[in-house]
Structure 1
Amino acid sequence: MVFRTMFCAALAAALIPAALVGCTSASSRTPSPDWRPCQENAEFDCATVTVPIDWDSADGATIDIAVVRDKADDPGRKLGTLVSLPGGPGGSGVDDILKGGKFSPELQARFDIISLDPRGVKRSHPLRCDAGLVGHRPNMVPGLGGRIDEVRSYARDLAASCREHTGPLVDHLDAVSVARDVEALRVALGVDQLSLYSRSYGTMAGQAYAELFPRRLRASLLDSVDDHSLDGRGFFASEARAGQDAFEEYTAWCERDETCTLHGTDVHRVYGELFARAGRGELRDLAKPERVLDPMDLSTKVTQRLYNPDWAGLTTDLQALTAQPPASPQPAAAQRSGEPTPTPEAIFCADWKFDITDQDDWTQQWHEQNSNTPTLRAHFAWAAGTLCSGWPTPPQNLPHRPRTEGTPPILVLNGRHDPATPLEWATRVAAQTPDTTLLTYDGWGHGIYSRTPCTTSAADHYLIDLTVPAPSTHCPAA
């Protein structure tokens, strides 16, 4: 495989964006994907694309990226290729397509829809770390005795185990590398331009592709977008506010709707009591009763119920946890088991930087979390960022303001009450990225494309006709 083509493109994008098209002329030397019916679902085609582990060492070791294709249902009206980048980190784009995809019949008719498992995920050389360490993280709550030096020691041990079980790819999992993998896919497909749909964490690679290969974009739709201009403190604060906002929307529903089985109950107090019990090690995971549910696990479980949102399911969870008898004391933290387990969550450390100087600084940032989300105490991003603060390998894709020039008009979709990618992120990305329009869904949940006919129609018109909605367009809540 010849990778010099993509390096030339990246260099041109960084130095002289207008030179990009002329730079990538050797696509004929990149083998086309060997499409074959997918073993898991023969309705779709599967293949792999070979890419270097380190894009700065094109002649070094390689990995295979798993890709899937849903061919256009109406070839006579086909507009081109739509590449879908999944969220996560850890989402499988191959699984998304094999399970039926997320796109409208009109998009399925007009595009070859292609997705992938990003590097480090599932079929694409998964990031694997020691199962014993993954299953027993240290105390992440300074207010409950957590120590930042213990977190840093754990992060070093975990990273070493990831390197042992994954190899050198552990240092090359960032969104820029994924964007370059997408460019390798484009070259392999032999198409001049891609339409790109990216969702949640996938928007990190979507934005990176726009920076590196603007002339290769026909369209780019960023659904529930990450704001990569934030420093660690800003990331923590905005995530905490998003979690609190989404929880307040849930409690407001429960107060006004008698079908909520906690109707008439102080739901904030219910959560506070559960958080205290989790801090004492008294709760068990509802899905895995053999596991103790610690405070950060509780925050994660609750926040994830707000993704759809599934308010009734969250109510059931809170009631079930409240009814649990106290669990037995948590066993001591496990040592290495020697057995690997997929750990795509650690990919997060390749793209974000969190500076925590010492115990006092960590405690101060914890108090800031509490003030931004007084009910939840902390967003689940707190644990991920704290872990990354001690990760021994610096992030390869440092946070920065968008650096785009020469892209087509870009469309951003975001919900008003998103617990994971807050509307303030989308507003800032749209303001900082030239020729970008934000469409706001005035409802709840994470992931906007298929929320309502309004959101789907606006996105489809953009991807098909390249028509962006008017500035400040809103779709009403369902």
Structure 2
Amino acid sequence: MSVQYSRGCVGALCTTSVGVMRSSIALAILACALLGGSATACTTTAEPAPTIDWSPCAQHPDVECASVRVPIDWARPDGDSIEMAVARRTATDPAHRIGSLISMPGGPGSSGVDDLLAAPKFSPELNSRFDVVSFDPRGVGRSHPVTCDAGLAATMPNVVPDKGARLDDVQSYAKKLAASCRARTGPLMDHLDAVSVARDIEALRRALGDDRISLYGRSYGTMPGQSYAELFPDHLRALVLDSVDDHSLDGDAFLASEARAGQDTFDQFAAWCDRDTACVLHGQDVHAVYGARAASTDLLQLSSATTQLLYKPDWPALATMFETGPVPAQPPPPVHDGGVAMPTTIVCSDWHFDISSQQQWEQLWQQQNRNAPTLRAHFAWAAGSLCSGWPTAPPNPPHVPNRPATPPVLIMNGLHDPATPYEWALGVERNTPGATLLTYDGPGHGSYPRNACTTTAADRYLIDLTVPARGSHCAAVPG
């Protein structure tokens, strides 16, 4: 059904080798994009505002590039610091400019600078009214990337209990990997969490000179967005959480819900194959086809490749992969001084997986199989397994947000999202006073660009601060 509106007010996931790809899969929640926040850190600062010196980007002169210096540890603002890379596309209608719209990239590991260099990110109307700003989060891309030992990255142990995997091996490996990352990356390894990123966004706001900012986060980018709402509500004009992570979940609930989401989206694909002759598997038992492929290839590699094709979704390509094509490998990560970039380790800074025995691990694996009887597991399984052995506790552990009064928040989520389950969006809506959930009734990860309904709803909110009526839905794009 179409969106109805009510007026709202405003208050004050790698490499071509299987081993390295497994490591990236293991720590990537992609793509997922998850929440975070802690009310314990300070929300005000007395130091002078950081400066920002824009100049045309070398790769694209229509985009401006710069950097903002931020402390590694926000509890020690006078300590060591890093340069956070930022980029900006200025409003195309400066006479009617509203302010800055900061786009928070997902992943963890996506580059917001690359996003802006590639193309305008939002609708022409939104681009006309806002300076669209994005950044490479700390530990990502141009912002002091997390770098780990290439040999370790390529030799991740088996994480499938049915194939003889041992939790002790996985957790021992995690400790060695973390030590290599720390040796190459330095003290930033202790400060990669979403709360630290939210503080970086506040530094960016001050450098831009804006009293209040509008935020758009997709997937993992919703993590610092929610943290910002906890910490700096007085400087928040609007917040869109697109494909949102529910940071109130413990590790068991996180893994179970991810498995259910993967299975649900695969079922949508199978239903399409049943009804549409354009599917090269039309007339076959698609679930049985997947099972046959799983028996002859790496299960988590297959599950991850399947889920990635369900993001868009690209159902024809997925059907072709099952019929004739190889399971695609991900591109190799950037090399840094003999190591490899592994920003996916950021997951272990925001999530806690308390797995203390082989028996418990195997029980969780059986739960994965029950929740995803075809896929058998979600790529999040490997991430949770590795993070369970991470030697340091997450500085931003899961919690129910302690959020003060904020402007109305717009949550957008697909009904069949393989990475950020719809049940997460329902949970975040319950835990966020004044939030409104807009449901896209189709499959895929990311709702803003799906159709005119989803784009218009977000644009009206960001421009006019008009929120959809509660319970609003946007119809699925025919597939």
* TM superposition score normalised by structure 1: 0.88
Q: Which of 113, 119, 128 is the aligned partner of 2:138? A: 119
Contact 2:321 2:327 in 1 (8 A): no
Is residue 2:236 matched to residue 1:217? yes
Contact 1:130 1:338 in 2 (8 A): no
CA shift in 2, pair 1:15/1:139, >3 Å: closer
Is residue 2:176 matched to residue 1:157? yes
Name the CA distance, whole Å, in 1 between partners of 2:202 and 2:326. Answer: 50
Name the CA distance, whole Å, in 2 between partners of 1:452 and 1:274. Answer: 34
Contact 1:132 1:339 in 2 (8 A): no
**Structure of higher CA gyration radius:** 1
Name the CA distance, whole Å, in 2 between partners of 1:322 and 1:248. Answer: 21
**Other-structure match for 2:301:** 297
> Structure 1 residues 126-135 or 110-119, which shifts more?
126-135
CA shift in 2, pair 1:257/1:98, >3 Å: same
Q: Which of 60, 65, 86 is the aligned partner of 1:46? A: 65
Structure 1 regions of 5+ residues with no counterpart?
1-12, 279-293, 325-336
Amino acid at match of 1:241: R
Amino acid at match of 2:287: H
Is residue 2:386 matched to residue 1:382? no
Amino acid at match of 1:413: M
Is residue 2:247 matched to residue 1:228? yes
Task: Using CA pairs under 8 Å that are at least 6 residues apart, name the structure with larger relative contact order, 1 or 2.
Answer: 2
**Map 1:31-70 → 2, pairs under 5 A:** 31-70=50-89
Contact 1:31 1:188 in 2 (8 A): yes
Name the CA distance, whole Å, in 1 between partners of 2:40 and 2:413. Answer: 32
Amino acid at match of 2:451: T
Name the CA distance, whole Å, in 1 between partners of 2:465 and 2:427. Answer: 22
Q: Which of 319, 322, 329 is the aligned partner of 1:318? A: 322
Name the CA distance, whole Å, in 1 between partners of 2:412 and 2:39. Answer: 27
Q: Which of 224, 232, 252 is the aligned partner of 1:205? A: 224
Amino acid at match of 2:63: F
Contact 1:232 1:355 in 2 (8 A): yes
Name the CA distance, whole Å, in 2 between partners of 1:14 and 1:168. Answer: 23
**Other-structure match for 1:474:** 473
**1:323 Cα shift?**
11
Q: Which stretches of structure 1, 4 residues or more, deviate above 6 A after TM superposition?
A: none
The one-character-per-residue Cα deviations of 1:60-107 (angstroms, maximum 9, x if unpaired) are 110000000100000100001100001100011101111113200001
**Other-structure match for 1:30:** 49
Q: Which of 87, 98, 109 is the aligned partner of 2:128? A: 109
The one-character-per-residue Cα deviations of 1:362-401 (angstroms, maximum 9, x if unpaired) are 0000000000000000000000111000000110101011
- Identity between Structure 1 and Structure 2 (%): 60
The one-character-per-residue Cα deviations of 1:227-267 (angstroms, maximum 9, x if unpaired) are 00000000000000000000000000001101111111111
Name the CA distance, whole Å, in 2 between partners of 1:92 and 1:84. Answer: 11
Aligned residue for 1:201, secondary structure, equals helix
RMSD: 1.8
Name the CA distance, whole Å, in 1 between partners of 2:88 and 2:363. Answer: 48
Name the CA distance, whole Å, in 2 between partners of 1:165 and 1:15. Answer: 29
Name the CA distance, whole Å, in 2 between partners of 1:338 and 1:206. Answer: 32
**Other-structure match for 2:292:** 273
**1:16 Cα shift?**
12
* TM superposition score normalised by structure 2: 0.88
Structure 2 regions of 5+ residues with no counterpart?
1-37, 329-335
Is residue 2:185 matched to residue 1:186? no
Name the CA distance, whole Å, in 1 between partners of 2:291 and 2:458. Answer: 40
**Other-structure match for 1:308:** 312
**1:136 Cα shift?**
2.0
Aligned residue for 1:468, secondary structure, equals strand
CA shift in 2, pair 1:24/1:192, >3 Å: farther
**Other-structure match for 1:357:** 356
Name the CA distance, whole Å, in 2 between partners of 1:16 and 1:310. Answer: 42
Name the CA distance, whole Å, in 2 between partners of 1:270 and 1:93. Answer: 37
Contact 2:305 2:327 in 1 (8 A): no
**Other-structure match for 1:287:** none
**Other-structure match for 2:283:** 264
**Other-structure match for 1:282:** none
